[in-house]
Structure 1
Amino acid sequence: MPRLIFFCGHAGTGKTTLAKRALPALHARSGQSFCLLDKDTLYGDYSSAVMGVLTGDPNDRDSPLYLQHLRAPEYAGLLNTARENLSLDVNCIVVGPLSREVRAHHLADRAWLGVADDVAVHVVWVHLQEAEARRRIQARGNPNDVWKLAHWDAYRTRLFMPDAAQYPELLLHDNTQASNESFEALLDALSRA
Structure 2
Amino acid sequence: MNKKSNPKAIFLIGSAGAGKSTVGKFLATKLHYCYLDKDIIANRFTGELLISRGYQPTARDECEYYKKQVMDIEYKTLLDIASENLKLNNSVILDAPFLSYFSDKDYISKIIQQFNFSNVDTYVLEVFVPAEILKQRILDRNNPRDIWKLDNWDQFIEGINQKKCLWQNVTYIRFDNSATQIPEFTLLKNFE
Same fold (TM over 0.5): yes
Structure 1 residue ranges, 4+ long, deviating more than 6 angstroms after superposition: none
User: Could you say if the C-alpha distance between residues 168 and 114 of structure 1 is closer, same or farther in structure 2, counting changes exceeding 3 Å?
Assistant: closer
Deviation at 1:178, TM superposition (A): 6.2
1:41 alignment counterpart: 40
Deviation at 1:112, TM superposition (A): 5.7
User: Could you say if the C-alpha distance between residues 106 and 139 of structure 1 is closer, same or farther in structure 2, counting changes exceeding 3 Å?
Assistant: farther
- Taking the aligned partners of 1:58 and 1:163, their CA distance within structure 2 comes to 28
- Identity over aligned pairs, percent: 28
SS of residue matched to 1:70: helix
Deviation at 1:179, TM superposition (A): 5.8
SS of residue matched to 2:175: strand
1:130 alignment counterpart: 131
8 Å Cα contact 2:80-2:115 kept in structure 1: no
Greater mean alpha carbon deviation, residues 170-179 or residues 16-25: 170-179
Aligned equivalent of 1:25, options 25, 30, 37: 30
Amino acid at match of 2:113: A
- Taking the aligned partners of 1:147 and 1:154, their CA distance within structure 2 comes to 10
User: Could you say if the C-alpha distance between residues 19 and 78 of structure 1 is closer, same or farther in structure 2, counting changes exceeding 3 Å?
Assistant: same
Unaligned runs of 5+ in 1: 28-33
SS of residue matched to 2:122: strand
Greater mean alpha carbon deviation, residues 49-58 or residues 74-83: 49-58
- Taking the aligned partners of 1:180 and 1:59, their CA distance within structure 2 comes to 29
Amino acid at match of 1:172: R
8 Å Cα contact 2:127-2:176 kept in structure 1: yes
2:75 alignment counterpart: 75
1:104-119 to structure 2, matched below 5 A, reads: 104-106=104-106, 108-109=108-109, 110-111=112-113, 114-116=116-118, 118-119=119-120
User: Could you say if the C-alpha distance between residues 73 and 168 of structure 1 is closer, same or farther in structure 2, counting changes exceeding 3 Å?
Assistant: closer
Normalized against structure 1, the TM-score is what? 0.83
SS of residue matched to 1:122: strand
8 Å Cα contact 2:124-2:170 kept in structure 1: no
2:141 alignment counterpart: 140
1:11 alignment counterpart: 16
8 Å Cα contact 1:107-1:123 kept in structure 2: no
> Does residue 2 of structure 1 match 2:13?
no
Cα displacement string for residues 32-90 of structure 1 (whole angstroms, at most 9, x for unaligned residues): xx211100100011111211221331110112221111111111111111011111222
SS of residue matched to 1:7: strand
User: Could you say if the C-alpha distance between residues 162 and 52 of structure 1 is closer, same or farther in structure 2, counting changes exceeding 3 Å?
Assistant: same
Deviation at 1:145, TM superposition (A): 1.0
Unaligned runs of 5+ in 2: 1-5
8 Å Cα contact 2:123-2:170 kept in structure 1: no
Aligned pairs, number: 182
- Taking the aligned partners of 1:131 and 1:67, their CA distance within structure 2 comes to 27
